[in-house]
Amino acid sequence: MTDSKRTIKISIPSDLDWLGVIDKTVEGITEVMDFDEFDRDSVSICVIEAATNAIQHGHETSPDKPVDLEFIMEPEILTVTVLDHGKGFSPPDLEGEIGPAPDLTRTRGRGIFLMRSMMDEISFDFDEGTLIRLVKRKSPSESEEEASA
C-alpha cells in the first residue's frame, strides 16, 4: 500500500443479511494492508460486532435507517467507524483497564469486551446516534516484512 491515506465509505440497510458485505469489505481491506491472518480476523470480528449492535440495538432492526461505515487506511493504521442513527445507549464503564471477561455462556453482553480486547483503540461518540471508532495498528513484524519487501 502506498504512503497516502485512503478512505472507503459504505452504507448498509439495518438488516443482518448485509453483514456478509461488511465481512468481505474488511477482508479485502486488511489483505491490501498486509495484516496477518490473526489481525484480519480480529478486525473482522470487531467490525461485524459493532455493525450487529448498530442494527439490533441502535436501529432496533429498522431497515429504513442505514448503518454507515468508514474505513480509513494509513500505511500502519486502519481506523473503522460504525455509525447508527438510533437513540444511543449507556454502555458500561468504557475507560481504563479492560475488566474481567463477561460470562461466556451468555449469548449477549460480550461485544464491547471483545472489541476492547482485540483492537488497539476503541472509542464511542453519542452525539447523533452511536459512533464506534475502532483502531488497529499493524504489528511490528507485519511492518518490518512490508519494509523489507
**pLDDT tens for each residue of 25-41:** 999 999 999 999 999 99
Query: Does residue 98 belong to any structural domain of this protein?
Result: no
Query: Does residue 60 belong to any structural domain of this protein?
Result: yes
95 vs 113, higher pLDDT: 113
CATH number of residue 85's parent domain: 3.30.565.10
What pLDDT, on the 0 to 100 scale, is given for residue 19?
97
Q: In sequence order, what are the residues at sequence separation of 6 or more whose Cβ sits closer than 8 angstroms to the Cβ of residue 108?
A: none
Helix (H, G, I), strand (E, B) or coil at 73: strand
Number of compact structural domains in the chain: 1
Q: What is the mean pLDDT of the segment spanning 72-101? A: 76
Helix (H, G, I), strand (E, B) or coil at 11: strand
113 vs 100, higher pLDDT: 113
Is 24 a residue whose pLDDT tops 90?
Answer: yes
Owner of C-alpha cell 472507503: 8
What pLDDT, on the 0 to 100 scale, is given for residue 144?
62
What pLDDT, on the 0 to 100 scale, is given for residue 62?
75
Query: Does residue 123 belong to any structural domain of this protein?
Result: yes
Domain span including residue 142? 6-92+108-148
Instruction: Record the pTM.
Output: 0.81
Query: Does residue 140 belong to any structural domain of this protein?
Result: yes
Query: Does residue 39 belong to any structural domain of this protein?
Result: yes
**Cα atoms in the 13 Å half-sphere on the side-chain side of 24:** 6
63 and 14 in contact (C-beta within 8 Å)? yes
Query: Does residue 81 belong to any structural domain of this protein?
Result: yes
Query: Does residue 24 belong to any structural domain of this protein?
Result: yes
Is 45 a residue whose pLDDT tops 80?
Answer: yes
129 and 84 in contact (C-beta within 8 Å)? yes
**What is the distance between the alpha carbons of residues 83 and 133, in angstroms, rounded to a whole number?**
9
Query: Does residue 97 belong to any structural domain of this protein?
Result: no
